[in-house]
Amino acid sequence: MPWIPICIIAIMVSMALFAPLLAPYSPIDQTLRDKLIPPFWVDGGGIDHVLGTDAFGRDMLSRLIYGARVSLIVAALALTAGGGVGLLIGIVSGYFGGAVDNALMRLVDAAFTFPAILFALLLAVTMGQGLGTLVLAISLLLWASFARVIRGEVLSLKQRDFVALAKVRGCSSARIMLTHILPNVLNTFMVLVTLNIGVVIIAEASLSFLGAGIPPPTPTWGLMVSDGRGRIAEAWWVSLIPGIAITLLVLSVNVFGDWLRDRLDPRLRQL
Amino acid sequence: MGQRRVYKIWAVAAALAVLLWQPAAAQTQKGTLVFAVESLSAQTLDPILEGRPGNAIYQAAMYDSLVGFDVDKGGIGPGVAEWWELSDDGLLWTFHLRKGLKFHNGDPVTAHDAKFSLERQMSEPSLASAKATLRRIVKSIEAVDDLTLRIEMASPQIGLPSSLSRAVATEGAIMPKAYIEKVGEEEFRKKPIGSGPWKFVRSVPGDRIEFEAVDYPHFRGTPHFKELHILLVPEESTRVSMVRTGEAAIASIGPESLQSAARGGLQVLSVPGTMQAVFQFWGAYRPEFKDSPIAKPRVRQALSLAIDRKQIIEHVMNGKASMPYPFAAFGYTEYFNAPKWKKWSEEAYRYDPAAAKQMLAEAGYPNGFELNFLNTALPGTQFMTDVGTAVADMWNKAGIKVNIKNYEWGSFAPLSRGDQPQLAGNASMYRTVGRPDMPWRYDGGFAVTSEHHLLGDKVNCDATCQEFGKIYNDLLAERDPAKRTELTDRMVELVANTWIAVPILEGMGYYAVNAGKAGQFAAIPGRHELGDVFERIPRPDEKPWKK
Amino acid sequence: MKRYIVYRLLQGVVLLCLVATIVFFLGRLTGNPVDLMLPEDATPADRMAMIKALGLDGSLFQQFTIFVGNALHGDLGTSIRMRQPAVEAFFSRLPNTLAIIPWALLLAMCVGIPLGVIAALNRGNMIDRAAGTVAVLGIAMPSFWLGILLIYVFSVELGWLPSGRMGGPEHYVLPVITLGAFLVAGFMRLVRSSMLEVMESEFVKLARIKGLSESVVIWKHCLRNALVPVLTLWGVFVGNLITGAIVTETVFAWPGIGRLTYEAVIFRDFPLLQAVIILKAILILSINLVVDILYAYVDPRIRLA
C-alpha cells in the first residue's frame, strides 16, 4: 500500500474539512501593513504568521488551509458532474451500440477537437468568473475522456455470458445497465476518478493563471501560485508554498491511483 | 477676416525645440534598443487600423503627428505643425507646418499629406476611434499651400489641436499621400513609410516589430541607437527576467513587479500622472434609488473618507503612485489651477474613519449598509483590481457589507451601455487616463448624452445635472484663457462635490530598465507609452544612470 | 481500407460543421470586440461607426449566413483586431507551434519509455513506485509555474538560457522541457501496461523456453511489441499540444497558435476565433486519421476488425 501518498491525501482532506478550526486567521482579512512577511524560519518572520503573509497581508497558512477546501470542493463537484455524465454516456453508448453509439462517440470526438482550456475561457468571459463557471468548465473537460474509457469497458463486458443470460431472462435494458454493467465498470470509474483529481487541480491553476478561475478574494491554491509568480525572487513563499502543496497532492493522488489501477486491472491501457 | 489671434508662443517654442532637438550632425548610432511590452494590439503599421495603445507604443516610432508633445510638461506642443491659430469666430483653424520634413522615401512632408491623412482617418474603412466625432465637427480641410493647412469646423472646437496630438488621440498621424496613391493600400501595409525618426524594417506577427534609425537629424530627436526592436512578451515575470538577463533593455511592468525589478538590480522608471484609479456610482440619480444609501452625497463622501489612500499607495502600488487631484485632473491639465486644487484634494481625500462613521450615522446608516461593488481593470492597468480589492476591504472594515465581484474588462465594458441594468445602484472601479484637455472626459462621464451619464439622463436631470450641462457648454465656447480657467474650476468643483466619481490615486506608468543596455532617460509626463521617447533614449555609455 | 478512410472523412466533415456552429454562436455570446478597441471615453456615435466599419451590424442569423457562405469558399473571415484574413493569421503562426511539438514528444519519449520499462520490470516494488512518482511529477506541477521556475533558475540566476521568445536552439530548451514534462506520465503508464501485457504473452514464454537470454527477450521481443500502442498516444498528444499550449506560449512569449487563440477570446475577435478552432479541428482530425491508418498497418488485428 502506498502509505505516504495516503497520509498526504488524508492530511489535505482534513485541512479541507476542518478549515475553520485549524486556520489561525481569516483567509481574506487584509492588513496591508503586514504584507509579505516571510515564514517563521526565515529572517523577519515570526510565529505570528507561521508561513508568512502575501501581498495583501493575508496569512498564508490560513489561506492554504481554506484553499484546500476550495480545491477539493471544485474537484468533488467537477468529478461528480463530469465523471457522472461521462459514466452515463459511456454505459449507454457501449451497451446500445449502433446509431446511438455512433452519435454519442461523434459528440465525444467533437469534445476532443475543441480545445478544453479555450472552452473554459469562453465560459468565464460569458458567465463571469466563479465557482459554478469553473466547475462547469472543468466538467466539460472531463466527461469525454470518461465516456470513451467506460464505453471501451462496456463493449467488452457486453460480450460476456452473464449479460446474455440477463437478456434471455427478459430483463429490460435499463435494468441490465444498472444492475449488471454498472457495478462492473465501477472499478474503472474509481481509477479514473482518482487519476483525474490531479487534472482538475492543475486545470484550476492554469485557468487562474489565464484569468478565468475563481476570482479573488477566495483563496484557491491555483490563484495563490498565480498571484505570487512575479515575486519568486524576493517573496518566494507566496508562490512556492501553495505550488508545493499542489504538487504533493497531485503526486499522491496519482501514485495512489496508479496503485489502484494496478491492483484492479493492469490491462486498462487507455488510462 | 478680422483680427487674427496668433499663438506666438508656439513659434518661439518651436524655434527653441528645433534648436534643442538638433544634435550635432556627426552623431554615431550604435547598437539595438530592445523594448519588451505586454501587447502589440493589432500589430499593424497602418495608422487607420490600429487603436490608441498600439499607435502610442509602436506606430509612434515611425509616424509623426500633426500636433506633438511638450516633452517636459506633458501637454501638447509642436509636431509636424510648428504653430497654429484660431480665427476669431472660432471656426477656422490654420496649422503652419515646419519646413524640410521628409518621409522615409525622400518625399517631402506637405500640407497635402496632412489633408490626405486626416481624410483617410475619416474614411469608411478607417477604424479610428474618433472617426464619427471628427466627421461631425470637421466641415472641410484645405491645403492652402505646401506648408499651410486650414480646417474649417462645423461648430467652435477649441480642443482640435489636442485631438490631433498623440497626447490624446491617434488621428493626427501623418501618412505619405504620394506613396500610398502610387503603391495602393495593400502594399502600403506591407511596406509602410512615415516621417518619424525610425524606419520600418519588419514585423513578425505575434513576436516583434523592428525599426531602423534614420540617419539624418529629426525634430523629435535623432536616435542614439541604430535599431529599435519592440518585442511582444505577454507574461510580466518573463519580461522582468528578460531585462535582468539583458535580452531586453526596457520592459513595461506593473507596480507588483517594482520590488522584484529593484531587487534584481534594475533601474525603475515611473512616469507620473498617466492615469487615475477611481470609483464611481452608477445611476444614483434615478428615482428608484432615491431611498438608497448611494443616492446621498454625504454617504458617498463617507465612503471616500473611509479609504486610506496612503496605505494603498504604499502597499499596493509599492509607493509609486500619488494622491490624486480631483477627477480627471493632473498637474499638467490645461486651464487648471493645479496648486489650489492640490491643497483642496489633500483635505478632501484624506483618511478620516471617524468622520466617515459619523456621516454614515447622520445619514441614517449607523450600522452600515450593503453595497455591490464591481471590480475591474482596464487594459494596461491590471493593478486596478488590486486597488479595488483593498478599497472593498477598507469599506468592510468601516461597516459596509461589500459584495465584490470581479469582471474581466471585456465583460464589464458592455454593461455601461443602454440602461445599465447590472450597474445602476452599484459602485464600480473605473479609470481616467492622463490627457491635458479635461472637459472631454467630463463630457464622457457626466453629460446627459454620454454613455456613462453619471449625473442624470434625458428623463431625470436635476439641478446639478443641468448646471453641469450649462457650465460645460459655456466652457466649450469660451476663448478667453482666464475665463476658461474659471469655468473649469466651477466644473471641477461641481462634480467633486457630488462625490459621484471619486479618484482613489494617481497612477503611473512603470518600466524596468537594464542600466547596461540603455542610458538614463525621462519619459513624457502623463504619457504612459514610450512611442515618442525611444529616439531620445541615450546609450549607456553616453549617459549612465546616476545612483 | 478505402471505405474506412472515406467513412472517417465524412465523419470529420460532420464534426467540423458541428464545431463551427458551436463556435460561431458561443463566440458571439461573449461580448463585442468594439468595446475593447475603443478608449473608455468614446462617444456612442463613434461606437456605432466602428461597428459598421467592422461589419458587425446585422442580425446574428445574417452574420451566420455570410459566415457559412464565405467558409465554403475557403474564406474564414478577417480578423477584427489584426485586419488580415484569419486563415493567414493562423498559418503564419502555426509553424511556430509545430516547430516545438516534435521535440516535446521526443523528450517525453526519451524519459517516459525507459521509466515505463523499468517500472514494468520491477513491478510492485519500490523502484516501480519511484519510477511512477518521477513520471507523474510532470503532471503534478502547473505548467506555468514550472515554466516560470525554470526561467528563474536557468535564465535569471544561472544565465545559461534565454528567458523566452523564439530563436536559436537555446530558446527551445525551456519551452520543450515545460511542454514535454506534461507528456512523460502518459508514455510511462502506457509502456508499463503494455510491457506487462506482452511479458505475460505466449510468444514471450516461448522465447524464454527456447532459452534466449533475458535481456534479448526483453529488449528484442517485449519492447518492440509494447511500443506499438505508443503510436496512439502521438495522436492524442499532438492534438493536446496543438490545442493546449496556451500557457507555455504565454510564459515563454512563443508566437504560436495557442497564444493566438487566447488573444482571440480575450479580444472577442470572432472571425479569428472561429477560424482558429475550425482549422485546429481539421488539423487534429487529419492527424488522428493518419495515426489510425498507421496503426492499422502496424497492427494487423485492427485492420481486419
Q: Is the pLDDT of residue A249 over 80?
A: yes
The shortest C-alpha distance from A124 to chain B (Å) reads 9
Give residue B238's identity as a one-letter amino acid code.
T
pLDDT for residue B298:
93
Percent of chain C scored above 70 by pLDDT?
A: 93
B2 pLDDT band, cuts 50/70/90, is very low
Residue from the list C45, C83, C260 with its beta carbon closest to the beta carbon of B49: C83
Cα separations (Å) of B105 from B119, B179, C179?
A: 22, 9, 46
Q: CB C277 to CB A198 under 8 A? A: no
pLDDT tens-digit map of B424-452: 999 999 999 888 888 888 988 898 888 89
| Average pLDDT of chain B to the nearest whole number | 89
Q: CB B314 to CB A124 under 8 A? A: no
Q: Is the pLDDT of residue B22 over 60?
A: no
pLDDT for residue A48:
84
pLDDT tens-digit map of A201-242: 999 998 888 888 888 888 999 999 998 888 888 888 999 999
For residues B282-287, average pLDDT: 92
B236 contact A CB<8A: yes
- Residue B54: name the closest of B376, B274, B272, B380 by CA: B380
pLDDT for residue C64:
85
What is d(CA A266, CA B10) in angstroms, rounded to the nearest whole number? Answer: 84
pLDDT for residue B119:
93
All three cell numbers of A263: 491492483
pLDDT for residue C34:
83
A31 pLDDT band, cuts 50/70/90, is confident
pLDDT tens-digit map of B224-246: 999 999 999 999 999 999 999 99
- Residue A32: name the closest of B399, B390, B278, B304 by CA: B390
Q: Report the side by side order of strands in the sheet with B92-97.
A: B5-6, B81-86, B92-97, B148-153, B138-145
A113 contact C CB<8A: yes
For residues B312-340, average pLDDT: 91
Measured between beta carbons, the chain A residues lying within 8 angstroms of B510 are none
All three cell numbers of B344: 483642496
Q: Is C174 helix (H, G, I), strand (E, B) or coil?
A: helix
Q: Report the side by side order of strands in the sheet with B501-513.
A: B198-204, B208-213, B227-232, B32-37, B250-253, B501-513, B267-281, B427-433, B370-376, B401-407
Buried-state track B438-451, b at ≥16 Cβ within 10 A, e below 16: bbbbbbbbbbbebb
Chain C: partners with 3+ C-beta pairs within 8 Å: A, B
Contact B235, B222 (CB under 8 A): no
For residues C227-256, average pLDDT: 82
As a residue count, chain A comes to: 271
pLDDT for residue A140:
86
> Computed from CA positions of residues B473, B477, B483, B485, in that sequence, does the dihedral angle turn out positive or negative?
positive
pLDDT tens-digit map of A173-198: 777 778 878 888 888 888 889 889 99
Q: Mean pLDDT check: name the lowest of B10-19, B370-379, C209-218.
A: B10-19
Measured between beta carbons, the chain A residues lying within 8 angstroms of B312 are 32
Give residue C157's identity as a one-letter amino acid code.
E
Q: CB B259 to CB A57 under 8 A? A: no
- Residue C12: name the closest of C281, C213, C227 by CA: C281
Q: Is the pLDDT of residue C209 over 60?
A: yes
Residue from the list C156, C255, C266 with its beta carbon closest to the beta carbon of B205: C255
What is d(CA C40, CA B432) in angstroms, rounded to the nearest whole number? Answer: 8
pLDDT tens-digit map of B30-51: 899 999 999 998 899 999 988 8
The string of DSSP codes covering B76-138 is: EEESSEEEEEE-TTS-EEEEEEPTT-B-TTSPBP-HHHHHHHHHHHTSTT---TTHHHHHHHE
For residues C147-156, average pLDDT: 91
The string of DSSP codes covering B459-520 is: S---HHHHHHHHHHHHHHH---HHHHHHHHHHHHHHHHHHTSEEEEEEEEEEEEE-TTTS--
- Asked whether the bond before A217 is cis by omega within 30 degrees of 0, the reply is yes
C 184-243 → B contacts, CB under 8 A: none
For residues C255-284, average pLDDT: 87
- Residue B14: name the closest of B75, B80, B104 by CA: B80
Q: CA-CA-CA-CA torsion for A1, A77, A71, A146, nearest 10 degrees?
A: 60
For residues B453-461, average pLDDT: 89
- Please state, as a whole number, how many other Cβ atoms lie within 10 Å of the Cβ of residue C229: 18
Percent of chain B scored above 70 by pLDDT?
A: 95
- Residue A75: name the closest of A150, A156, A9 by CA: A9
Residue from the list B126, B234, B235 with its beta carbon closest to the beta carbon of C53: B126
What is d(CA C159, CA B470) in angstroms, rounded to the nearest whole number? Answer: 63
pLDDT for residue C15:
82
Q: Is the pLDDT of residue B105 over 60?
A: yes
The shortest C-alpha distance from A235 to chain C (Å) reads 13
pLDDT for residue C123:
81
B26 pLDDT band, cuts 50/70/90, is very low
What is d(CA C211, CA C263) in angstroms, rounded to the nearest whole number? Answer: 61
- The single residue listed with the C-alpha cell 506577427 is B205
- Considering just the CA atoms, what is the radius of gyration of chain C in Å? 24
Q: CB A122 to CB C137 under 8 A? A: no
Q: Is B337 helix (H, G, I), strand (E, B) or coil?
A: coil
The complex's ipTM works out to: 0.87
Residue from the list C26, C133, C284 with its beta carbon closest to the beta carbon of A122: C26
Chain B: partners with 3+ C-beta pairs within 8 Å: A, C
Q: Is the pLDDT of residue B306 over 60?
A: yes
pLDDT for residue B183:
94
Contact C183, C104 (CB under 8 A): yes
Of the two residues B188 and A129, the one the predictor is more confident about is B188
Q: Is the pLDDT of residue C300 over 70?
A: no
Q: Is the pLDDT of residue B3 over 50?
A: no
Contact B207, B77 (CB under 8 A): no
pLDDT for residue B25:
40
Burial class (CB within 10 angstroms; exposed 0-12, middle 13-18, buried 19+) of B226: middle
Q: Is the pLDDT of residue B83 over 90?
A: yes
Suggest the residue from C11, C146, C265 to mutate for an interface test with chain A (most A CBs closer than 10 A).
C265
pLDDT for residue B1:
40
What is d(CA A205, CA B406) in angstroms, rounded to the nearest whole number? Answer: 17
pLDDT for residue B370:
93
The shortest C-alpha distance from A229 to chain B (Å) reads 7
Q: Is B230 helix (H, G, I), strand (E, B) or coil?
A: strand
pLDDT for residue B65:
93
Residue from the list B132, B207, B451 with its beta carbon closest to the beta carbon of C165: B207
For residues B489-500, average pLDDT: 93
Chain A: partners with 3+ C-beta pairs within 8 Å: B, C
Measured between beta carbons, the chain C residues lying within 8 angstroms of A233 are 152, 156
All three cell numbers of A130: 466563479
pLDDT tens-digit map of C40-71: 777 788 888 888 888 787 778 888 888 888 88
B547 pLDDT band, cuts 50/70/90, is low
For residues A22-47, average pLDDT: 85
A212 contact C CB<8A: no
Residue from the list C45, C53, C163 with its beta carbon closest to the beta carbon of B242: C163
Q: Mean pLDDT check: name the lowest of A177-181, A225-229, B523-527, C141-145.
A: A177-181
A 15-54 → C contacts, CB under 8 A: none
Q: CB A217 to CB B404 under 8 A? A: yes
For B51, name the nearest residue in chain C, comparing CA atoms only.
C37
All three cell numbers of C147: 515554466
Q: CB C29 to CB A106 under 8 A? A: no
Percent of chain B scored above 90 by pLDDT?
A: 61
Measured between beta carbons, the chain C residues lying within 8 angstroms of A246 are 140-142
Contact B461, B187 (CB under 8 A): no
Cα separations (Å) of B181 from B120, B178, B185, B188, C92?
A: 12, 5, 8, 9, 28
All three cell numbers of C31: 461580448
Residue from the list C32, C39, C268 with its beta carbon closest to the beta carbon of B129: C39
pLDDT tens-digit map of B332-341: 888 888 899 9
- Residue B372: name the closest of B281, B453, B311, B473 by CA: B281
pLDDT for residue B527:
87
> Computed from CA positions of residues C133, C138, C141, C147, in that sequence, does the dihedral angle turn out positive or negative?
positive
SS (H, E, C) B393-407: HHHHHCCCEEEEEEE
Q: Is the pLDDT of residue B24 over 50?
A: no
For A215, name the nearest residue in chain B, comparing CA atoms only.
B406
Of the two residues B424 and A33, the one the predictor is more confident about is B424
